[in-house]
Chains A and B, each alone.
Chain A
């Protein structure tokens, strides 16, 4: 569609307040040969219980239905893998369902879980996501990922998903980046930042202390994208417990943190970018139609929307999410973000899609220092830090788990538990990972609200998960 009706643009409304009570995750790695997937899921659920000082058995008693995010049956070579996990978690005979929306599977799993509670069907649900991408070598893995593109029109063209993003990187660089080398360096800065933040995260798969030159000199995958511009291929699991208000209060009675309000918005766009027709830019609350009137003049070639430079799905997910939660301006209303940095270029594109910067000006979010925990230009806290976990580039992309990991990361900041979870020496040792001598507490101080963006395909599915401290809501009836 290129025109949307009033009915379609209606802001979704949850029938009751919904809460994120706790969450957990496993270690993430390129390969975890010593564990079956169910063991990783048990690790995640055990951690979620531990976070609120409960045993897994006690927590399980509250769960009424289960939502499982597992994208790629062919990676794990197991159809109905969700049923295997459900059985091994000992959650039969509860109703359960598998959710798969590519890279957005984790976010979509939360979307379904939140709706189940909001509707009154369940008071407490489990949202669990995982992926097992180590059952095939990397070339075969790239083939399997490319199967998520259109198999007749796109996949045969190299069987490599990076290529579908590289054409976007090229267009964006030439139109909004004005072909400047400085723009390419800005993309590299994102990789440096995310691999660097991953160093402080014991769960993370790719901690690296690197420079912009390291990124620019890394091997080309699909020009202009290089190895260090790309997300990881991972194994791991993450889960969240989503509840109504009464259950949330019961479950957090002896917990060090309070439950957080949660909303999830979802959008989509054509699986094939080739099918994306020119349309008017749907506006977010912090934008006006006038500001894009001369977009094509300021950035020649930038007047086709979303073309190969933006993601309509992300914009629509933000539109619904902001509307539900009362966000008027993400820069003012949110304190921390986790974005779906599948590639450095898609990170920049998303800044614009979700209104952190206007279309055409995404690079400024990095260059201003706003996206950092500590602004490198000023030494002061970044205005709206993003991907402190290390994101998909530095932490992991165990597809079905990713959106849940991101949401958990945002929650840890709001709970003021980031240092406790990431700095725990026992955890570093348990994961056989060396805690760096310069380990730094990256807690976003005073965080009350945040958002995680989960994104699939070349923008085919996107969710926006918004979390808020219930004592710092933006609108009363949210």
Chain B
């Protein structure tokens, strides 16, 4: 039995275990309209990548702990000092100074509003969200940018007040650990694994 590829880092080196690729035989592609002559072959490929979050790692770790982190430029020499970034941005877009990490969970719980939205009936391969997917773009008081995420309960509307929910049980450590529900939603109504 194969083992999913697993990685940890020790002494700044990747330590890998398990299978990072799976072999599937290729198949011929033939022309049914012309005597089944050969036209090509399939090229199967199933491979696991090793992807590092770098300076964004605290953001993805915090989601599983029920916290929404953002960043702020505190460089006194920056023309745009005080800019707050959500999506979490490691460096200020203007001065390129290292931003300060801030916890904006409470801000999100009280000021998050749907800026725009859409309801997606289709998806690409490897999608794991239930369809229809309700994309929402969320604005917050005091935040200069507009976060893209998804609504787990209810029908989205522009101007709707929403609150963050976090996949604190079996987190995936991806952006999918963060979702949103209409303000006032009760904890018992949340999707499996999520908490307010």
Contacts and interface: CB of A to CB of B under 8 A. Distances in A.
Residue of A135, A146, A151, A170 with most chain B CB atoms under a 10 A cut-off? A170
Nearest to B159: A301
Residue of A3, A33, A151, A157 with most chain B CB atoms under a 10 A cut-off? A157
B120 A222 contact: yes
Contacts of B124: 139-146, 158-160
A308 interface: yes
A96 interface: no
A152 B89 CA distance: 12
Contact of B174 (A156, A166, A222, A274): A156
B102 interface: no
Nearest to A174: B158
Contacts of B158: 170-171, 174, 301
Contacts of A170: 116-118, 158
A223 B121 contact: yes
Contact of A77 (B43, B87, B94): B43
B196 interface: no
A276 B146 contact: yes
Contacts of A225: 118
A146 B79 CA distance: 34
Q: State the main secondary structure of chain B at its contact with A.
A: loop
B39 interface: yes
Interface in A164-223: 164, 166-171, 174, 219-223
Contact of A160 (B117, B123, B175): B123
Contacts of B132: 223
A79 interface: no
A273 B148 contact: yes
Contacts of A171: 115-116, 158
A152 B120 contact: no
Contacts of A139: 123-125
A275 B93 contact: yes
Nearest to B85: A275
Interface residues of A, number: 50
Contact of A157 (B53, B86, B93, B148): B148
Nearest to A224: B118
Contact of A143 (B116, B118, B125): B125
Interface residues of B, number: 49
A1 B94 contact: yes
Contacts of A221: 120-122
B40 interface: yes
Interface in B97-142: 115-129, 132-133, 135, 137
A59 B189 CA distance: 69
B118 A153 contact: no
Contact of A162 (B83, B93, B122, B149): B122
Residue of A1, A140, A167 with most chain B CB atoms under a 10 A cut-off? A167
Interface string B34-75: 000001100101000001010010001000000000000000
Interface in A287-317: 301, 308
B87 A274 contact: yes
A274 B116 contact: no
B129 A158 contact: yes
A431 B184 CA distance: 60
B147 interface: yes
A154 interface: yes
A417 interface: no
Contact of A152 (B126, B129, B174): B174
28 contacts: A33-B31, A77-B45, A140-B124, A142-B125, A143-B126, A152-B56, A152-B174, A152-B175, A157-B129, A157-B135, A158-B127, A159-B125, A164-B148, A167-B148, A171-B158, A174-B158, A219-B121, A221-B121, A221-B122, A222-B135, A223-B119, A272-B87, A274-B86, A275-B87, A277-B144, A308-B115, A308-B137, A308-B146
Q: Which 9 A-B pairs have the closest CB atoms?
A: A159-B124, A142-B124, A166-B118, A171-B116, A143-B124, A143-B125, A222-B120, A223-B119, A139-B125
Interface of B: 29, 31, 39-40, 43, 45, 51, 53, 56, 60, 79-80, 83, 85-87, 89, 93-94, 115-129, 132-133, 135, 137, 144-150, 158, 174-176
